[in-house]
Structure 1
Amino acid sequence: MDYKYLERIIDCNQTIIQALKKMDEKRVKSLLVVEQGHFLSMLTIGDIQRAIINNVDLNRKIDKIINSNKEYASTAEDVNTIKEKMLVMRAECMPVLDEKGEMVKVYFWEDFFSDKAKEEFKEKINLPVVIMAGGQGTRLRPLTNVIPKPLIPISEKTILEVIMDQFEGIGCKKFYISVNYKAEILEYYFNHLEHKYDIEFFREEKPLGTIGSVSLLKNKINTPFFVSNCDNLIDQDFRDVYEYHQNNQNDITIITSVKSYQIPYGVIETGPNGLLTNLTEKPEMTYMINTGVYILQPELINEIPSNHFFHITDLIIRLREKNGKIGCFPVSEKSWTDIGDWTEYNKILCKY
């Protein structure tokens, strides 16, 4: 057996947050769950995302969220059958079990297919994409004193092109790009570049907040649409997010990232008269962070006031007051990169 499967092994008594961290560490989307050394089940990033959506405690053991109905390969199946099964399921890896349920081999996607094949097999979605590219990029100064943040290079492309490529890869064709700061440079670049994108620039004459300029798109968009900041890279198939958005009938879906922070001190809790009730040494806190990527229903454009400074948080508050449905689709900590500051930008340069 190829022993590279060993890095995916996780004991069933580990917690959800531990499994999520292991996926991030190994850069994988699935793990092999064992109980006392025997194969029990697969655990996928989708299992964890569903658990988070259902508000399951991240400190809960993973054996409480594994899907016992998952399909695996058997020793009675030939390689071509297993290959077809992996293609249909788009499975990152496929355990092969004998008649006793013992794992005797593991096939990996790369054993049969290219990474591109997994994406091409899934149905495309052609939704409009609005990219908020009008900010000043203050965290990346002095570079952004010269060029707008969307044109900062990542390898042989700009940040904006890398973001658009991800959406274009799932079938999105129409891009509306909100510009303000150094708008002329941004428009000139794309007007003189041979590219595959269908781009329509729209300009806010003054800063209108994180969603205010979208009011300029009234009567132009009549389907659900993506909204993305121009400094986010997310390792997630956005078609899964759209499927969740549709199935849950959300008005807005926010892509969130699970972030853990360790407090470098002992944390004390007290009760009446200052008496100690609890002491936790260097606790780790886990939060859901807004990544700045959303799916919106088209009618929400009418909720955005024209020519007014208006943040996406203002829209969310307004929607909550009207009992609208706001969903959150989680991704792991390392699946999201905020490239709007020097530390993260330098990291992404090393990756590319």
Structure 2
Amino acid sequence: MLKVEELFIEPSITVLETLRKLDETGQRILFIAPQGKLQAVVTDGDIRKFFLRGGTPDQTVDKAANYHPLSLPVSERGQARRMLQDHCIDALPILDKRGHIADIVFAHGVDVDNRKRVDIPVVMMAGGLGTRLYPYTKILPKPLIPVGEQPIAELIMDRFRSFGCREFTMIVNYKRGMIKSYFNELEKDYQVHFADEEVFMGTGGGLCLLKDKIDSPFFFTNCDTLLDVDFGDLYAYHKSHGNLVTMVCAFKHYTVPYGVVELGEDGGIAAMREKPELDFLTNTGVYVVEPRVVQEMRDGEKIGFPDVIERYRRAGEKVGVYPISESSWMDMGQLEELEKMRRKLENQQ
């Protein structure tokens, strides 16, 4: 049972440390509350807005925090459910007469679903050989590799389905007969269509097969990536910013396991750093895409989707980033990551 105090943070810690704390607690909100008195709240959305304003992970979290948070006095606790619904928030602090946090009411604890609904098509890149998952993919195509009791592709569809998506298209190539058989025989309350890729065209090239078949914005996803995000909020962000493409990126923290030596011009040592730590944003392989991108794809072109994005970016088109925390992204592109995903999903059950 999580204690209220475990969600308290100091305003002087960095944004990166705050992200780690959000991951550790499994919640989407933390509180700046000296001696328990509420001053500000920090949500994953606050941090996302902070980065979009040009903030960096090494800055202190007080620069990202909301110093005008919603709250309720203990005497009005009964209004918590209505306030959570009206303001579409995940948690609400309950304050005593001195302004100290006496309790926190979470939306999931009172059966409130604040997720934004979104019913747009989902396109899944499902035609690759999955060489990094060999020898599994010698027998099964990557979309059908089980993670627990379900294939990864079905798990991904279930995530989108829970937000209202009902129309899926899989771009298939390698062992596509097996993929089609599985989804055609599956009892489901959504539609799955297939686009046959006769030659490998990369993670972006296959979109040319969907010309004149998609006339609305759509989610575009790898078949090996599970995200724990609000897809409705992602779509709303994409539209509000007027992006042609919005890329979902996760913050990664990596410690180089070696001492790093930098060479000087004369061949001597310019600097030495013992096990340096790196922080960076990485592409999760999930996007929101406007239909114009499909119509402008070059027939038969072999190209990765990041290269498609770069082409538009250089042309001055608006391409955006939707940042998420590292723990919100699970990837099974390699055997080691597949086992991590299995363990994490087991722990969530």
Shared fold (TM-score, shorter chain, > 0.5): yes
Alpha-carbon distance between aligned partners in 1 of 2:263 and 2:299, rounded to the nearest angstrom: 49
Instruction: Measure how far apart 1:95 and its partner are.
Output: 1.4
Matches within 5 A, 1:56-75: 56-75=55-74
Report the more deviating stretch, 31-40 or 237-246.
Answer: 31-40
Instruction: Measure how far apart 1:90 and its partner are.
Output: 4.0
Partners of 2:116 and 2:230 within 8 A in 1: no
Residue of structure 1 equivalent to 2:166: 173
Residue of structure 1 equivalent to 2:180: 187
Report the more deviating stretch, 45-54 or 290-299.
Answer: 45-54
Structure 1 residues 3, 150: closer, same or farther in 2, change over 3 A?
closer
Alpha-carbon distance between aligned partners in 1 of 2:70 and 2:62, rounded to the nearest angstrom: 17
Question: Residue by residue, what CA displacement relative to the aligned partner does 1:121-180 show, whole Å, maximum 9, x if unpaired?
Answer: 544211111000001111111111111111111222211111111111111111111000
TM-score in terms of structure 2 length: 0.92
Residue of structure 1 equivalent to 2:125: 132
SS in 1 for 2:21: helix
Residue of structure 1 equivalent to 2:311: 318
Q: 2:282 aligns with which of 272, 285, 289?
A: 289
Partners of 1:304 and 1:310 within 8 A in 2: no
Alpha-carbon distance between aligned partners in 2 of 1:110 and 1:213, rounded to the nearest angstrom: 39
Kindly provide the amino acid, as one letter, of the partner of residue 65 in structure 2.
Answer: I
Partners of 2:116 and 2:231 within 8 A in 1: no
Residue of structure 1 equivalent to 2:32: 33
Alpha-carbon distance between aligned partners in 2 of 1:328 and 1:3, rounded to the nearest angstrom: 32
Report the more deviating stretch, 82-91 or 240-249.
Answer: 82-91
Instruction: Measure how far apart 1:83 and its partner are.
Output: 2.2
Residue of structure 2 equivalent to 1:348: 341
Residue of structure 1 equivalent to 2:231: 238
- 2:94 is equivalent to residue 96 of structure 1: yes
Alpha-carbon distance between aligned partners in 1 of 2:219 and 2:31, rounded to the nearest angstrom: 34
Structure 1 residues 37, 99: closer, same or farther in 2, change over 3 A?
closer
Partners of 1:210 and 1:311 within 8 A in 2: yes
Unaligned 5+ segments in structure 1 are none
Structure 1 residues 125, 109: closer, same or farther in 2, change over 3 A?
closer
Residue of structure 2 equivalent to 1:87: 85
Alpha-carbon distance between aligned partners in 1 of 2:289 and 2:342, rounded to the nearest angstrom: 31
Alpha-carbon distance between aligned partners in 2 of 1:333 and 1:324, rounded to the nearest angstrom: 28
Question: Residue by residue, what CA displacement relative to the aligned partner does 1:6-62 show, whole Å, maximum 9, x if unpaired?
Answer: 221111111100000111122221112233654321110101111122220111111
Structure 1 residues 99, 177: closer, same or farther in 2, change over 3 A?
same
Residue of structure 2 equivalent to 1:336: 329
Structure 1 residues 307, 83: closer, same or farther in 2, change over 3 A?
same
- 2:215 is equivalent to residue 222 of structure 1: yes
Alpha-carbon distance between aligned partners in 2 of 1:63 and 1:23, rounded to the nearest angstrom: 15
Partners of 2:122 and 2:165 within 8 A in 1: yes
Report the more deviating stretch, 86-95 or 178-187.
Answer: 86-95
SS in 2 for 1:285: strand
Structure 1 residues 172, 111: closer, same or farther in 2, change over 3 A?
closer
Structure 1 residues 268, 298: closer, same or farther in 2, change over 3 A?
same
Residue of structure 1 equivalent to 2:198: 205
Partners of 1:303 and 1:315 within 8 A in 2: no
Structure 1 residues 278, 97: closer, same or farther in 2, change over 3 A?
farther
Instruction: Measure how far apart 1:290 and its partner are.
Output: 0.5
Report the more deviating stretch, 206-215 or 48-57.
Answer: 48-57
Structure 1 residues 10, 248: closer, same or farther in 2, change over 3 A?
same
Instruction: Measure how far apart 1:284 and its partner are.
Output: 1.3
Alpha-carbon distance between aligned partners in 2 of 1:171 and 1:299, rounded to the nearest angstrom: 23
Matches within 5 A, 1:298-309: 298-309=291-302
- 2:105 is equivalent to residue 112 of structure 1: no
Unaligned 5+ segments in structure 2 are none
Partners of 2:116 and 2:233 within 8 A in 1: no
Question: Residue by residue, what CA displacement relative to the aligned partner does 1:263-303 show, whole Å, maximum 9, x if unpaired?
Answer: 23444567776787765443211111000001111111123
Instruction: Measure how far apart 1:107 and its partner are.
Output: 2.4
Kindly provide the amino acid, as one letter, of the partner of residue 257 in structure 1.
Answer: A
Instruction: Measure how far apart 1:229 and its partner are.
Output: 0.4
> Structure 1 vs Structure 2: percent identity of aligned residues?
36
SS in 2 for 1:295: strand
Partners of 2:46 and 2:64 within 8 A in 1: yes
Instruction: Measure how far apart 1:184 and its partner are.
Output: 0.7
Alpha-carbon distance between aligned partners in 1 of 2:264 and 2:133, rounded to the nearest angstrom: 45
